Structures are given as structure tokens and as C-alpha cells.
Structure 1
Amino acid sequence: MASAFPPVYSFPPLYTPQPNALIREQQVSTWIDIILQYCKSKDSWCMTFEGSVIDLSTLMIEIATQGIPKERESIFKNNDIQRAVPQSFMEEIWKKLVSDGKAISTDIKTKNSRTFYIFWKNVDSWASLILQWFETTTKLNQVVTVYELTQGDESIGWEFYGMPEPMMIHCLKPLLARNRATLMKDEMGKVVAIKVV
């Protein structure tokens, strides 16, 4: 797994919280970069608190069948150098990821973990890309389902293809704020479609 990471991933002090505030800040920033780059390279949208990339549909099946989630490889553990990030330091890294808007907690709770949506780009960049999709596909002023936007044939090849629906809705917020988009909900209040003008 270490070959998928930058050389600093094999630097043992990266795994131990450093006491100097400036070094610690850089250390957290390095971990954030590693997480974002890794998720982007794997086309993964979700990660557990422990640093395991997950597929939401697989996780939902495990939860629904009350199966024990299988042991997954963790980004915070490097077996090549026998190092692992302590849980308290993981908490600090996740707190910074969330406060910087690079991750949001999912509503999915497993028995032993929390899960997060990971934003490889900032939300404004995703919103711009989504707007570009609407312009390119000539879908402006048309109602498009969230499924069509995230899983449809016309979205294949776009970076947001396969993005979980709750994450997509979060990425639409800048368009909503600029009055460029309107969300349509079903009778249960779930967002099912969007119209971009």
C-alpha cells in the first residue's frame, strides 16, 4: 500500500504527534493531503474514522445484514515501517478535515466506527464543475434527477460520476446560494432532482 503514497508516508515521525505547534500543524496538513490524494486516486468518496476507504453500498449491506464489517486496510497504518497513528491524533486530523470543509460526516454509523465523505476538491470547485456539466449537456432550465447527475450515462467521464447523492446535494449549495439552482423534493422531503438556470 505504501507505494501509492508520497515518500513522506514512510517517514516514521509522521505517525507521532509532534509537540511543536508549527510542526504539528504541518504534520496535520500533510495527513490531509495524503488522504485527499489517496481518495482521488482510488475514486473513493468515503473513508472510515480509522482511515479505511469504503464503498458505501458494501457497507450498507454489511449493516443491514448485521454482518461484522470486514477488516480493511487503513491509511493511518504503515506495516512497512511498523507505524500507526494514535486514535487521539486521528481525531485531530479528522477535526481539521471537517473544519476545512474537506470532509463531512455521513449519517451512517457502524458498530465501531464513523464514516466521512471526502471532498478532493473544495465545494465551490465541485459546484463549478456541475454547472459546466449542465451547460455542456444542454440541460440548463431542465429538471435532472440526482441519480441522473451522479450515475447517468451523460455523467460518465465527469469527475463527479459515482458521487454519493448526499455529497452531491452538499456540492450544490453554492449554486443554490447564487440562485442558479432549485432542488425538488419527493413527498418524504428527500431531494430527488435539480434544475439549474
Structure 2
Amino acid sequence: MENHYTRSRLKLGRVAEMSIENPNIEFPWQFHFPPFFTLQPHAETRAKQIAAWRSLVLEWYGATRQSKVDVREAGRGPPFANATINRRFPEEGITAVMEELARTGHAERLDKQGYTWAVHCGRTIDEWADCLLSWARDNGMSGTVCTLYELTHGDDTVSCDFHGLDEETLVRSVLRLQQRGNAEFMDFDDNRGVKFF
């Protein structure tokens, strides 16, 4: 049964070519167009370019479950570089994409300089929190303590979007549930978990 917390594929008008680095990602046509890797000077064109990068980055980090981006290093590989056409997006462009993701709640700056960012694996923290809470309620887990490991690596969550989620994003999502009064974050005996309400 397909639920809102189970995996679903994004259909973003992608071409059929798949990434060698991650077979679950289809790059947009722009990825093979050299000007895509140059920050456009015209405001309207730049807005469209950043929107395309935003979609690609959300899909990439959602599928790969990577969460940290260092803008000084990110241009060395996918999704910010395309070795086939010998192009990479500049730091200024990567920063603009991260700022747009932060504006929509999909990323957070981790340092004052703006070099290091946390990308929330394709969703906002609120969306991940809702996903966790829906799963807990649908599976009768209210009042139950689950370890973070069980949530991200357990057999009961294999079909869930949060299975394999990085711990930092998971903790932020659980803390958001705690703020809402839907869960309690627990830290015990070298392990961390959550009690759902």
C-alpha cells in the first residue's frame, strides 16, 4: 500500500539518461548544457536557473541521502559538476542555490561564513517530522520508544522515505515533533531515540 510516507519517484520532466554515480537520479536536460554551469547575469534567467538547480539538488540529496554541502568543495562532483562537458557550477552559484533552499526550509547554514550547509534530503524538517509522525500513528507506535537506528535502518521502515535518512536530519525532525508536543527525544546509554505521542 502506497502511503504519503513511502517512497515515490519525482517526475520532473527528466531525460532518460541516468547518473553513473547514482542510478536513481536522472539529470535534467540543462545538466548537459554548458551555460547551466555559469551563473546567469540577467535576473529573470538567473531565477529560472536557480529554480532548476534547486530541483536537481533536492532530488540528488533526497536520493543519495547526503546532507552536508561545503560550497568550497561541492563543485568537484555531482550534482554541481559534469565531467562529460568539463563544467562545474561556481561557489557563488552554489551559495545562491543553498540560500534559495534555506529560504524554502530545505537547507540550513551550519557556519557563519556560509560555507557549510545541511540539506534536508529533499524535504523540509517539518515535512520529515510529519512523515515520522504519520508512520508512528499508522503503525500503532504512539507511546512506544524507537531508537533512531530502528527508524533509519530497521526492517519495519524499509519502505519509508525516512529509512536511510542521515542522523542529523532525523534528530532535527524529532526535535521539531518534540516542540509540537508529538514526541519526546531521548538520549540514553550511548543511544538515542524517540517516544511518539
Q: 2:157 — aligned with what?
A: 155
Q: 1:75 — aligned with what?
A: 79
Could you report, residue by residue, the CA deviation over 1:137-160 in whole angstroms, capped at 9, with x for unpaired residues?
A: 221111222222222221222111
Under a length normalisation based on structure 1, what TM-score does the superposition of the two structures give? 0.72
- The 5-angstrom pairing of residues 25-64 of structure 1 reads 25-49=47-71, 50-51=73-74
Aligned-partner Cα distance in 1 for 2:159–2:67: 16
Under a length normalisation based on structure 2, what TM-score does the superposition of the two structures give? 0.72
Q: 1:196 — aligned with what?
A: 196
Aligned-partner Cα distance in 2 for 1:117–1:20: 27
C-alpha displacement of 1:47: 4.4
- The 5-angstrom pairing of residues 1-197 of structure 1 reads 1=19, 4-49=26-71, 50-51=73-74, 73-104=77-108, 114=116, 116-186=118-188, 192-197=192-197
Residue 40 of structure 1 aligns with an amino acid whose one-letter code is: G
C-alpha displacement of 1:175: 2.1
Unaligned runs of 5+ in 1: 53-71, 108-112
SS in 1 for 2:74: coil
Question: Measured at CA, do residues 119 and 41 of structure 1 come closer, stay the same or move farther in structure 2, by a change above 3 Å?
Answer: closer
CA RMSD between the two structures:
2.8
Unaligned runs of 5+ in 2: 1-18
Aligned-partner Cα distance in 1 for 2:38–2:32: 12
Aligned-partner Cα distance in 1 for 2:153–2:110: 19
Overall identity of the aligned pairs, in %? 26
